[in-house]
């Protein structure tokens, strides 16, 4: 796809507003500044002078043709509001959502490159120390298979007590044969042999006195191990984590750069007056307008001043406002830009002056382009000018050295002979600085 062209510092002010102001398709920028802008087509932003463009005060237009300083535009682009464009409005070719979206669409259209090889796996970390043993689980069920019987122990050497004699047998043994009758002996013959013993009588009642226990026999061999019990439901503590393995090598960097984000805003410098400042018929430095800018300038730095003032009925000559650069913050500092207003009239008046300056070059050959808008209540009277619009003035400095130590920039005012001006509000700002 193709992109819009871009230029740095493509900025100007509206010299001729479109007609109608809220729908016209042609406008003119300041003389000679059409060439600051890029080749068409491109999108540009229009917003009020001396303000920051916002969603409520700025319109995005599409510039389709440039002839000299005359722009042909298509209004209300990128969902922006319709603005009533007036002379003095700012116009610039800036970064908008379309610029970023075009880049993202182009990047999305680029086919993805092949995935790089996976880096080698880092070495395994050291094993952590063993955690504390968890509690023993409950005992398994009793084995239903008996273990083998152990060997019989040695016989006891101590006889148990003799049990009581059983009762006499009631069955007599057989009578032996009668021997021959001898002569009557006066001496008794020998006693015949004892007859056979009769059968043993029944076992007597068990003894009620236990004999002494014999010594315990040798323990038999251990029976087979019973089945494993159910697993414990209480987890033991976790061991400590092992050391982290080494990081694998970084993959190949992408060769497609992402879009560059918008440049952030620079530092901000400001000053203001604390009391009214009087300028009576002579060149007077406006206290509170000075800004200390040594070392803070860059191309594109914006300098702004706003003055609220009033005049007496005296003073009828042309006044001057001078932008002075130097180390003193006095009227002895060198005037680099000057603005000469319209001749005054002998009437009281109140007004507002806005000045905006852009640094175009820095260092030993600093150049500043400035513009002034003077609105006042009296129309063609009082501060003078025309009855139909504000005084609009421009001033471009010649090259000068902005690197001198302690350099400040501020304003002095000379209301002219018998002129008496009072500045109630003086505010100064430096934006987009280093």
Mean pLDDT in order along the chain per 10 residues (434 residues): 92 98 98 97 97 97 98 97 97 96 92 80 76 70 68 66 64 64 63 65 64 67 68 67 67 61 64 96 95 94 96 92 95 96 93 95 95 92 81 95 95 94 96 96
Please report the pLDDT score of residue 22 as a whole number.
97
Distance CA 101, CA 4 (A): 12
The pair of structure tokens assigned to 417 is: 């002979």
Decide if 407 contacts 287 (C-beta within 8 A): no
Q: Percent helix, strand and coil across the chain, each rounded to 5? A: 5, 30, 65
Decide if 108 contacts 258 (C-beta within 8 A): no
Distance CA 178, CA 423 (A): 181
Decide if 391 contacts 233 (C-beta within 8 A): no
Please report the pLDDT score of residue 249 as a whole number.
72
Q: Which residues, in sequence order, are CB contacts of 225 under 8 Å at separation 6+?
A: none
Q: What number of residues does the chain have?
A: 434
Interstrand relation of 408-414 and 391-396 (parallel, antiparallel or unpaired): unpaired
Read out DSSP for 334-384? EEEEEEE-PPP-SS-EEEEEEEEEEEEE-GGGBEEEEEEEEEETTTTSTT-
Please report the pLDDT score of residue 276 as a whole number.
97
Q: Tokens 């393995």 label which residue? A: 245
Please report the pLDDT score of residue 263 as a whole number.
45
CA-closest candidate to residue 310, choices 376, 372, 244, 259: 376
Distance CA 290, CA 328 (A): 10
Q: Per-residue b/e over 383-415, b at no fewer than 16 CB within 10 Å?
A: bbbeeeebbbbebebeebebeeeebbbbbbbbb
- For residue 434, give the 3-state DSSP assignment: coil
Between the two ends of the chain, the Cα-to-Cα distance in Å is 36
Please report the pLDDT score of residue 143 as a whole number.
61
């Amino acid at each position: 796809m193709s992109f819009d062209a871009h230029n740095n510092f493509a900025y100007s002010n509206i010299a001729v507003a479109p007609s109608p102001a809220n729908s016209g398709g042609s406008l003119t920028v300041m003389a000679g500044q059409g060439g600051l802008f890029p080749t068409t087509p491109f999108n540009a932003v229009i917003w009020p002078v001396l303000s920051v463009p916002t969603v409520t005060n700025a319109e995005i237009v599409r510039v389709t043709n440039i002839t000299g300083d005359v722009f042909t535009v298509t209004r209300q682009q990128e969902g922006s509001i319709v603005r009533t464009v007036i002379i003095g409005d700012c116009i610039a070719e800036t970064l908008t959502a379309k610029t970023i979206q075009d880049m993202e669409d182009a990047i999305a259209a680029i086919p993805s490159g092949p995935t790089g090889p996976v880096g080698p796996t880092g070495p395994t970390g050291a094993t952590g120390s063993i955690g504390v043993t968890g509690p023993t689980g409950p005992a398994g069920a009793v084995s239903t298979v008996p273990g083998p019987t152990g060997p019989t122990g040695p016989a006891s050497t101590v006889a148990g007590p003799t049990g009581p004699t059983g009762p006499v047998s009631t069955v007599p043994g057989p009578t032996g044969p009668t021997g021959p009758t001898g002569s009557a002996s006066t001496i008794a013959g020998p006693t015949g042999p004892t007859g056979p013993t009769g059968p043993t009588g029944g076992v007597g009642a068990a003894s009620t006195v236990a004999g002494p226990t014999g010594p315990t026999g040798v323990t038999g061999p251990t029976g087979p191990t019973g089945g494993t019990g159910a697993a414990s439901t209480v987890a033991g503590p976790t061991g400590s984590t092992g050391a982290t393995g080494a990081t694998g090598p970084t993959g190949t960097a992408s060769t497609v750069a992402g879009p560059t984000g918008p440049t952030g805003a620079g530092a901000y410098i400001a000053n203001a007056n604390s009391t009214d400042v009087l300028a009576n018929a002579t060149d007077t430095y406006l206290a509170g307008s000075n800004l200390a800018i040594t070392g803070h300038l860059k191309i594109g730095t914006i300098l702004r001043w706003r003055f609220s003032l009033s005049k007496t009925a005296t003073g009828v000559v042309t006044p001057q406002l001078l932008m002075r650069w130097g180390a003193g913050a006095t009227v002895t500092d060198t005037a680099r830009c000057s603005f000469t207003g319209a001749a005054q009239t002998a009437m009281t008046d109140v007004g507002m002056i806005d000045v905006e300056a852009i640094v175009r070059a820095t260092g030993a050959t600093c150049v500043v382009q400035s513009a002034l808008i003077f609105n006042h209540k009296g129309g063609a009277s009082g501060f003078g000018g025309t009855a139909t619009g504000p005084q609009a003035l421009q001033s471009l400095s010649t090259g000068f050295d902005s690197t001198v130590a302690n350099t400040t920039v501020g304003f002095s005012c000379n209301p002219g002979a018998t002129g008496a001006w009072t500045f109630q509000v003086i505010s100064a700002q430096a934006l987009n600085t280093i």
